[in-house]
Amino acid sequence: MKVLDAVRRVLEEEGGPLHYKEITERILDQGLWRAEGLTPWNTVNAQLAVDISRNGDQSLFYRAAPGVYGIRGGSAPEPGARMSFLDAAEAVLEEHAGQEPMHYRDITGKALDLNLIETEGLTPEATMYASILAEIQRQNKRGELPRFEKLGKGYVGLTRWHEQGLPYQIEVHNREVRECLMQRLGAMDPTAFEELAGELLAKIGFEDVVVTRAGGDGGIDVRGTLVVGDVIRTKMAVQVKRWRSNIQAPVVQQVRGSLGAHEQGLIITTGDFSAGARQEAEQPDKTPIALMNGEQMLSLLIEHDIGVVRKSYDIIELEEDEE
């Protein structure tokens, strides 16, 4: 079965939008498509992005949120939705580069020509390049294989164009470590898990973090203040759920109802969120509830060296002969 046919079946079964990584997992679990590379989710994301950019409103699929896709006839698509700079860069490289590096200025120009991105900034090329470099650095720090690679001054390619060699051996190892870490999270004592969540929040910029009570799945588990640049201070109430199943909309409503004065909410889960939960969290007339799923939590734990140890090795190469 072709990739997009498999995506269609999964989204029809779900009846609502899903993140491309969840789509990929279901495709592989059901045996609908056989992936040859080590990053099948990147292939799925790129195929969807290309189909949407090429066919516009005629595409069977639509982008409900960054990295989240739906099928027309399910939840209503957002008209005129644009890609993020990173998704647009991936789509341009996948469709128009012929597996050859492109300069970031050319990538940006093609993305603008195809109406993949919309920006009011005066330097979209600089934004594009900065976004790509930042993602490469972030994914490396999280132990993930970056989807982009920097090739020469200003030139960018897709890592999956050559799925072989040391980077992919490292990716296989890191993926095994990620799976083991997720298993550890699932086996943790509830109190220890809430304390771990509190440690993670402190690492990503929260201050005055307090684990409110042991256990207590029915209420707020952690409170703290998210500080941005020592200027913006937002009180946050956090509920932590060590679940395998998807969080549903009533949980989001429960958290919103438990908020104190001037608080915003955050739900952290080792599982994921249903389409209904995501929609409820983003209700425009209600206090927003931020959502962190298991993959996001895992990436942040690794990025901040919680539960993992980094090891580095020197790689030697032959010295070039001098003419």
CA gyration radius for the chain? 21
Collapse the DSSP code of 261 into the 3-class scheme (helix H, G, I; strand E, B; otherwise coil) and give the result: coil
Domains of the chain, residue spans:
3-162, 188-303
Give pLDDT, residue 19. 82
Q: Which residues are CB-contacts of 277 (< 8 A; sequence separation ≥ 6)?
A: 246, 247, 248, 249, 251, 252, 291
DSSP string, 17-67: -EEHHHHHHHHHHTTS----SS-HHHHHHHHHHHHHHHHGGGSSEEEEETT
And the tokens for 267? 């739900």
Task: Please say whether the beta carbons of 194 and 211 come within 8 A.
Answer: yes
pTM score of the predicted model = 0.60
Query: Rounded to whole angstroms, how far apart are CA atoms 71 and 200?
Result: 35
Range 188-303: architecture per CATH: 3-Layer(aba) Sandwich (3.40)
Q: How far apart are CA 258 and CA 237, in angstroms?
A: 8
* Angstrom distances, CA of residue 96 to CA of 57, 85, 90, 187: 21, 16, 10, 46
CA torsion angle for 220, 242, 278, 257 (degrees, to 10)? -20
| Distances from the Cα of 135 to the Cα of 38, 144, 194, 301, angstroms | 19, 11, 29, 17
DSSP 8-class letter at 319 = P
> CA-to-CA distance for 296 and 305, rounded, in angstroms?
14
What is the pLDDT, as a whole number, of residue 163?
63
Cα dist. 180→183, 184, 298, 303, 307 in Å? 5, 6, 11, 16, 10
Segments of the chain scoring below 50 in pLDDT: 75-80, 215-218, 322-323
Report helix, strand or coil for 189.
coil
Tokens 């390619």 found at: 157
Contacts of 102 (CB under 8 A, 6+ apart): 92, 93, 96, 110, 155, 156, 157
Which two tokens mark 95? 């469709």
Q: What is the pLDDT of residues 137-190, one digit of tens each?
A: 888 888 777 889 898 889 999 887 776 667 667 777 888 888 899 999 989 988
Q: Are 11 and 23 in contact (CB under 8 A)?
A: yes
| Alpha carbon distance 62, 72 (integer Å) | 7
